[in-house]
Structure 1
Amino acid sequence: MKRKREYDEDDVRVRATRSSRPRTRTRPTHSDAVTGFVVAVDRGRYTCVVAGDRKGETFEVTAMRARELGRKSVVVGDEVALVGDVSGDVGSLARIVRIEERRSVLRRTADDDENTAEGRIERVVVANADQLVIVSALADPPPREGFIDRCLVAAYAADIEPLLCLTKADLGGPEQVVSYYSELDLDYVLCRPDSDLAELRERLSGRVSVLVGHSGVGKSTLVNRLIPGTGRAVGVVSAIGKGRHTSTSAVALRLPDRKESWIIDTPGVRSFGLALVSSDDLLHGFPDLVEGTVDCPPNCEHTGGECVLDAWVGQGRADARRLASFRRLLASRAGDADPGQTST
């Protein structure tokens, strides 16, 4: 008869339970983290520029988000704290453990319809921009003041200084656009194919500037001229006057002036939704109309009726086109279509 085996403690494996591991609420401070500037985002990988040991030298580090960031998004323009392999060598991967406080945040939604899930999704375009450069062609395609108005509202809401950059000045004059914004004291520059872009370079110097504009307005062409060798894709305008999307992702590029000047080239967009912008911020995007609302009835929605803005325009104190654009934006936030969003 076979003898039954006897077991001892060497035959028993004890699996550690969760409660057996020490737990602490203390989070690492990452005091040894290095600071990086996010210049590109691609499928969960973040390209960050880090200062080197020598003055003025920088190198790029590829990083991923650390789990402790939770659901916080990392966008181009963010200043972040990096730990791990920050050598920048091929195949190295650092971790982003902290997002520094943002000086400014430029946001937009896909559209203005607050009754759809898509319309309520807020997209952070870039962080820490000092200047919003709104690129608009004077012809081919023609200027769309409705889109420019939306960009101005977003800039004022984010406390970012706007600059209007009018391209293809060899094909048309700026008078119509300039007169439309005459009451705003809005700075603008004209760009021609044969110009040296000296004025634009001066406006960009020492700043982080984000370029936005419809596809086909010459935004990528400007970037390639400002930073030779960049190779941003350049497209053409279709027969119906709409450009094809050439840039596919936002990227920050350093200007060759050694003054920490950056331009952030964004993908061409055909809408700049303002569903999450408050009515007050929307009005502040039209500073030429603000004074006219002082005598409006309490809780005036500025859509007509007893609104004083009609009389304000009738007295010649504001451009009727500006009031019409403001009311189109108000209507679009209520769910009505806004013809100025994509084609004005």
Structure 2
Amino acid sequence: MGRRDVRDESDFRSRPSKRGSRPRTKQRPEHSDAVTGLVTGVDRGRYTLLVGGAAGGTPDGTVVTAMKARELTRTRVVVGDRVDVVGDVSGEEGSLARIVRIQDRTSTLRRTADDTDPYERIVVANADQLVIVTALAQPEPRTGMIDRCVVAAYDAGMSVLLCLTKADLASPDALRALYEPLGVEVVVTRRAASPDTDHVALVPESVEEVRDRLRGQVSVLVGHSGVGKSTLINALVPAARRATGVVNDVTGRGRHTSTSAVALRLPVAAGGPDDDGAAARSTAGSSAESTAGSSAGFDGWVIDTPGVRSFGLAHVEVAHLLHAFEDLDEVARECPRGCTHLADAPDCALDDWIAASPEDERPAREARLGSFRRLLASRTGSDT
């Protein structure tokens, strides 16, 4: 089944001006002198790029500020994009290059505002792995959000890592039992108070467990506000200095601290704030410097994204939803032809699967099926 008609900002077409819409010439510059750049940050129409070196897969590179060429006005350039750049790529203060082409993307992580929004938002491009950061408490974990992210990652052709934080407040066993049998890799971090001060920080051993699973990959971190995503980023990349916040005691929700996506070089081992010679001029500036510093210890990329309240799946084909639930997908092969798999579907094999489940497995199976049917109903506009 082909992708349904989903539009984004590049589909917008304005009316031609009174002078006509035909260009002065059909020939466009080839820009044969363009160089490759990796987009590491986006800020109000200006793009932070790493040109040369890391953009081509090696650690060294020059941090360049660029803008889009006129012909790309309606084309979205996002963090993770590899682009062709012309103009001043010296990286000197006040210099400005120009992005003239976006290279083919190997993956595109998308989301929509809700399950009926026809406009998709591109989160990042060319990432290998989606890391779903979920707190075990403060705020409480939401399996619905996890399931949505898993669906979006599989639809984008990315692998999934579930990172459970704040294991010092609650046990990770229930979520491990829910997702590890489905092939979703799980890693857990915990905090502890310093013996000399009352400051609570991530246990270094748990941070290294996360680092081991990020090595050699481009990983994008996604999660609700307040789950500890920025704290984890700072532990993995000390030069990043991402702002951190607290969870509201009344609402149980975190406050947005990351305001834009940014790509950061992953050092081989954690060190002091000055490991890469970075100085925190600004969020975009410090991230650029931590990507373009010393070549020693470069071991992949991590992309931090702003905290999200929801993760709409309007861009995902209904038929693809079931594929993200591998256990249910296998059972559903026994369903009669045309089965909707909703709660009111007659003779649905998924209901028989629940009825035949052992007592100790039934709660987990019911939770899985309930999550899938809620996603399906929201996506199709049906009543659960």
TM range (shorter): 0.7 to 0.9
Shift of 1:295: 1.9
Shift of 1:298: 1.8
1:144-159 superposed matches below 5 A: 144-159=142-157
User: Which residue does 1:84 correspond to in 2?
Assistant: 87
The counterpart of 2:355, out of the listed 295, 308, 314, is 314
Which piece of structure 1 moves more, 85-94 or 64-73? 64-73
Which piece of structure 1 moves more, 124-133 or 255-264? 255-264
8 Å Cα contact 2:89-2:97 kept in structure 1: yes
| CA 97–216 in structure 1, closer or farther in 2 if over 3 Å, else same | same
8 Å Cα contact 2:132-2:163 kept in structure 1: yes
Alignment pair present for 1:241 and 2:239: no
User: Which residue does 1:262 correspond to in 2?
Assistant: 301
Shift of 1:265: 0.3
Counterparts of 2:183 and 2:267 in 1: how far apart (Å)? 30
User: Which residue does 1:93 correspond to in 2?
Assistant: 96
User: Which residue does 2:239 correspond to in 1?
Assistant: 229
| CA 303–169 in structure 1, closer or farther in 2 if over 3 Å, else same | same
What SS does the aligned partner of 2:238 have?
coil
Counterparts of 2:355 and 2:176 in 1: how far apart (Å)? 21
| CA 58–337 in structure 1, closer or farther in 2 if over 3 Å, else same | farther
The counterpart of 1:324, out of the listed 342, 357, 370, is 370
What SS does the aligned partner of 2:239 have?
coil
Alignment pair present for 1:252 and 2:263: yes
What SS does the aligned partner of 2:312 have?
coil
8 Å Cα contact 1:220-1:233 kept in structure 2: yes
Q: Gaps (5+ residues) in structure 1? A: 1-17, 339-344
Alignment pair present for 1:51 and 2:49: no
8 Å Cα contact 2:318-2:380 kept in structure 1: no
Counterparts of 1:155 and 1:302 in 2: how far apart (Å)? 22
User: Which residue does 1:180 correspond to in 2?
Assistant: 178
Which piece of structure 1 moves more, 283-292 or 309-318? 309-318
8 Å Cα contact 1:104-1:129 kept in structure 2: yes
Shift of 1:124: 0.3
Counterparts of 1:62 and 1:336 in 2: how far apart (Å)? 47
What SS does the aligned partner of 1:88 have?
coil
TM-score (norm 2): 0.78
The amino acid that maps onto 1:192 is R
Shift of 1:46: 0.5
Aligned residues: 313
8 Å Cα contact 1:205-1:259 kept in structure 2: no
Shift of 1:27: 2.2
User: Which residue does 1:190 correspond to in 2?
Assistant: 188
Alignment pair present for 1:290 and 2:332: no
| CA 145–237 in structure 1, closer or farther in 2 if over 3 Å, else same | same
Counterparts of 1:163 and 1:62 in 2: how far apart (Å)? 32
What SS does the aligned partner of 2:241 have?
coil
User: Which residue does 1:302 correspond to in 2?
Assistant: 341
Counterparts of 2:211 and 2:76 in 1: how far apart (Å)? 31
8 Å Cα contact 1:134-1:151 kept in structure 2: yes
What SS does the aligned partner of 1:255 have?
strand
Deviation digits for residues 203-234 of structure 1 (CA, Å, limit 9, x no counterpart):
11111100000000000000111111321111
The amino acid that maps onto 1:283 is L
What SS does the aligned partner of 2:153 have?
helix
What SS does the aligned partner of 1:243 have?
coil
The amino acid that maps onto 1:65 is K
What SS does the aligned partner of 1:252 have?
strand
Counterparts of 1:311 and 1:126 in 2: how far apart (Å)? 40
8 Å Cα contact 2:42-2:48 kept in structure 1: yes
8 Å Cα contact 1:138-1:168 kept in structure 2: yes
Counterparts of 1:337 and 1:301 in 2: how far apart (Å)? 12
Give 1 or 2 for the bigger CA radius of gyration: 1
Shift of 1:23: 5.0
8 Å Cα contact 1:63-1:93 kept in structure 2: yes
Shift of 1:52: 5.4
| CA 175–82 in structure 1, closer or farther in 2 if over 3 Å, else same | same
Counterparts of 1:152 and 1:223 in 2: how far apart (Å)? 21
User: Which residue does 1:63 correspond to in 2?
Assistant: 66
Counterparts of 2:142 and 2:174 in 1: how far apart (Å)? 11
8 Å Cα contact 2:59-2:298 kept in structure 1: no
User: Which residue does 1:26 correspond to in 2?
Assistant: 27
8 Å Cα contact 1:131-1:207 kept in structure 2: yes
TM-score (norm 1): 0.86
Counterparts of 1:337 and 1:97 in 2: how far apart (Å)? 47
What SS does the aligned partner of 2:177 have?
helix
| CA 94–260 in structure 1, closer or farther in 2 if over 3 Å, else same | farther
Shift of 1:337: 8.6
